């Protein structure tokens, strides 16, 4: 994807809506059942407002959506660029944006989750292309990249440790469908994991058999430097990768330690 990706490419098309006459008790049940904290209010296919958990909690209790809904809301055209929509949402501090077509009819909704997913899908190919070109220049070979599901048991890790606290974050992303694809180099019949050790370990822990990946296929069977380093470290499978659960990531500092260092 390029920066010209549009809202319609990432919006959720199946939108749960309510009407002005929907009882607020029904809205509460909808929120409990779906996990959503707000819904567009629609009449004759057009968005006329929005009702959220804040309306239910902070406003006087009244029986119907029409009594508490916000009518001064922002909507986006489905042809709007995703980057522009993200800026609007960020500046206004909103987590969802109803999407309309040229006839002003509701056709979808854009959420923060959709924005994150669009960023992942547009940024990962840049990293893949960089690594692909690096391999070609370093080993004087040709490569091609394909996106596919790869069996986790086939992967050769090249990192000696991962962090338990980061595993929790990656597991959350996987459950929400926000996990960035891993990057794998295929040399001969070997699948060498280049980027995505925490994602893969989290997927493995969740019981996933495969993981979404960009696979860079080498036209020659070459022993990569990553493999040689892993050999020396005794890393041949994820059973050899150490999980650090008693320390945070090394780039996270504890303030009390910082103060002690500053006093020295």
DSSP secondary structure of 7-74? HHHHSBSS---B-TTSBHHHHHHHHHHH--SEEEEEETTEEEEEEEHHHHHHSPP-SBHHHH-B-S--
Tell whether 157 and 89 lie within a shared domain: no
Query: Going residue by residue through the chain (264 aa), what tens digit of pLDDT does each one get?
Result: 445 789 999 999 999 999 999 999 999 999 999 988 899 999 999 999 999 999 999 999 999 999 999 998 999 999 999 989 998 998 888 888 999 999 999 999 999 888 888 887 777 888 899 999 999 999 999 999 999 999 999 999 999 989 888 888 888 889 888 888 999 999 999 999 999 999 999 999 999 999 999 999 999 999 999 999 999 999 999 999 998 875 555 555 555 554 555 555
Tell whether 96 and 146 lie within a shared domain: no
CA distance 209 to 190: 17
Q: Tell if the pTM clears 0.85, that is, is over it.
A: no
Please measure the distance between the N-terminal and C-terminal CA atoms of the chain and give it in whole angstroms.
Answer: 50
Kindly state whether residue 165 falls inside one of the protein's structural domains.
Answer: yes
Tell whether 152 and 106 lie within a shared domain: no
Tell whether 111 and 145 lie within a shared domain: no
How many domains does the structure of the chain reveal?
2
Please name the helix (run of DSSP H) or strand (run of DSSP E) that holds residue 77, with its range, or none.
Answer: strand 76-77
- What is the extent of the structural domain holding 17? 7-115
Tell whether 82 and 169 lie within a shared domain: no
Tell whether 97 and 156 lie within a shared domain: no
């Amino acid at each position: 994807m390029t920066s010209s990706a549009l809202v319609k490419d990432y919006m959720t098309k199946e939108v749960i809506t309510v009407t002005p006459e929907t009882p607020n008790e029904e809205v509460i049940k909808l929120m409990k059942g779906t996990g959503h904290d707000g819904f567009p209010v629609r009449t004759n296919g057009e968005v006329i407002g929005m009702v959220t958990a804040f309306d239910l909690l902070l406003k006087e209790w009244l029986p119907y959506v029409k009594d508490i809904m916000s009518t001064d809301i922002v909507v986006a055209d489905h042809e709007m660029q995703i980057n522009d929509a993200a800026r609007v949402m960020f500046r206004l501090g909103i987590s969802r944006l109803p999407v309309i077509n040229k006839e002003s009819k509701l056709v979808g909704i854009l959420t923060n989750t959709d924005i994150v997913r669009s960023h992942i899908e547009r940024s990962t190919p840049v990293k893949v292309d960089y690594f692909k070109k690096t391999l070609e220049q370093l080993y004087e070979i040709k490569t091609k990249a394909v996106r596919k599901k790869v069996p986790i048991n086939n992967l050769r890790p090249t990192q000696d440790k991962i962090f338990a606290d980061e595993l929790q974050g990656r597991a959350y992303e996987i459950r929400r469908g926000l996990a960035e694809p891993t990057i794998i180099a295929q040399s001969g019949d070997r699948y060498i994991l280049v980027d995505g050790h925490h994602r893969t370990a989290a997927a493995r822990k969740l019981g996933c058999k495969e993981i979404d990946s960009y696979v860079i296929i080498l036209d020659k069977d070459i022993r990569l430097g990553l493999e040689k380093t892993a050999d020396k470290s005794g890393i041949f499978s994820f059973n050899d990768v150490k999980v650090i659960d008693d320390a945070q990531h090394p780039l996270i500092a504890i303030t009390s330690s910082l103060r002690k260092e500053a006093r020295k």
